[in-house]
Amino acid sequence: MHSALDEYREVSPKGTVDFLYRLSDLVQGKSFLHLNAVRYGGGMSEVLRRLVPMMLSLGVEARWEVLAGSQEYFVVITRMLNALQGRDDKLTDDMYQTYAHVIERNAKALKLEADMVMVHDHQPAGLVDYRTHGCWLWRCHLDLAQPQRPAWAFLRRYVLKYDAAIFSLSGFAQRLPIPKFLMYPSIDPLSPKNRDMSRSEIAHVLDQLGIPRVKPIILQVARFDRFKDPLGAIHTYRLVKRHQDCQLVLAGSGVMHDPEGEAVLMELREAAAHDPDIHVIQLPPEADLEINALQRSATVVLQKSVKEGFALTVSEAMWKGKPVVGSTAGGIAAQIVDGVTGYVVHSVEGAAFRIRHLLNNPGLMNRMGAMAREHVRRNFLITRQLGDYLTLLKLLPVP
């Protein structure tokens, strides 16, 4: 019988789909509940939309529940997110109470019973207070390396009640007395953001975005945020441009209702004002096809961030056969095999040097791009993540 998983036979590594079928035999009939804060928006929701049907098709009783929150609650969890990632956002006692109140209300409304319950990030973490049976895992997608102490102390009280925590990278984790597992996030190769596109589709999108296809394209896809160092990307481009004619595309979103994002965007437009080869493109949320087309038309992809989460834009570009020149921030270096699928760099000068080298060596770019795609196929596709979850379901005991 054809299942959601069979669609991945052509894109996943040899033997993977059959292996996943056999792995799922070990967990038939078990139940797996995902809990998070939003149904749409963000990489995690994007992956869950595919993962849950795949798990169901394999005989796992998978469910995905989403927290219902108030406007006030979303303000609280946004501040908490910033504080957990190190920004100086203070939370008041009233805010903590709002959080606890929303959690209590949701606990009454949601069916929390399952053999395995995976709670994603801080927003629903407090639901652990209402656990009945099953193995409860806290899946942290955030960089918790340097959180604001009060926010982490508040969240940690909940985290300690889980059976285990899962982080994307060792460096993102805090000290905890429960088992800590490590799992990379993944991309869906069949989603609109990553599926194959024809040349005419790509050309059409580029025409719409007003990007000429004459000169080599250096691309950075990232929210307009200082942590993504878009000005560093412009400095890099200028160093490259001295020796090699090229254009820079900075594509991002995230300025709506965000004064800092707007300020960054203005700075960039100012910096790019006298150079027709710099294209600053503001994308709407979930502009998946546009990002796909941009990544496919890029000559080299740059990720110059100074602070990052996992930065799956790196894997997205590598999946499209592009060499990536990236910094050491967050998960960027974990995705690039230095010197094989791209280069890990530590400065604007290093980025410019590597990009210049690549632009002068088209054969090397092609070889690196091909290796990059294979590296993603084996390490960063949704099929690998599905295998991780099935393995958790089998290996971790249900209390």
Q: Which residues bind other proteins (CB under 8 A)?
A: 13-16, 18-19, 22-23, 26, 167, 170-171, 173, 175, 179-183, 328, 333, 337-341, 344, 346, 371, 374-375, 378-379, 387-388, 390-392, 394-395
CB closer to other proteins out of 42 and 387? 387
Q: Copy the structure tokens of residue 354.
A: 């590597």
- Report the sign of the C-alpha dihedral through residues 69, 73, 75, 79, in that order: negative
CB closer to other proteins out of 180 and 357? 180
As measured in angstroms, the least distance from the Cβ of 23 to other proteins is 5
As measured in angstroms, the least distance from the Cβ of 59 to other proteins is 15
Cβ(292)–Cβ(194) under 8 Å? yes
As measured in angstroms, the least distance from the Cβ of 62 to other proteins is 18
Nearest CA-CA partner of 82 in 2, 35, 37, 147: 147
Rounded Cα gap, residues 111 and 131, in angstroms = 10
Cβ(245)–Cβ(217) under 8 Å? no
As measured in angstroms, the least distance from the Cβ of 125 to other proteins is 19
As measured in angstroms, the least distance from the Cβ of 117 to other proteins is 17
Nearest CA-CA partner of 242 in 270, 277, 207: 277
Is 132 buried (19+), middle (13-18) or exposed (0-12) by CB count in 10 A? exposed
As measured in angstroms, the least distance from the Cβ of 398 to other proteins is 16
CB closer to other proteins out of 67 and 358? 358
Rounded Cα gap, residues 170 and 214, in angstroms = 42
CB closer to other proteins out of 108 and 175? 175
Name the one residue in this structure whose structure tokens are 């160092």.
Answer: 229
CB closer to other proteins out of 19 and 96? 19
DSSP string spanning 1-23? ---GGGGGTTTSPTTHHHHHHHH
Cβ(233)–Cβ(327) under 8 Å? no
CB closer to other proteins out of 187 and 344? 344
Q: Which residue(s) pair with 62 in the sheet?
A: 32
3-state secondary structure of 187: strand
As measured in angstroms, the least distance from the Cβ of 126 to other proteins is 24
CB closer to other proteins out of 106 and 335? 335
Region for residue 83 given its phi and psi (left: phi exceeds 0; alpha: psi -120 to 50; beta: otherwise): alpha
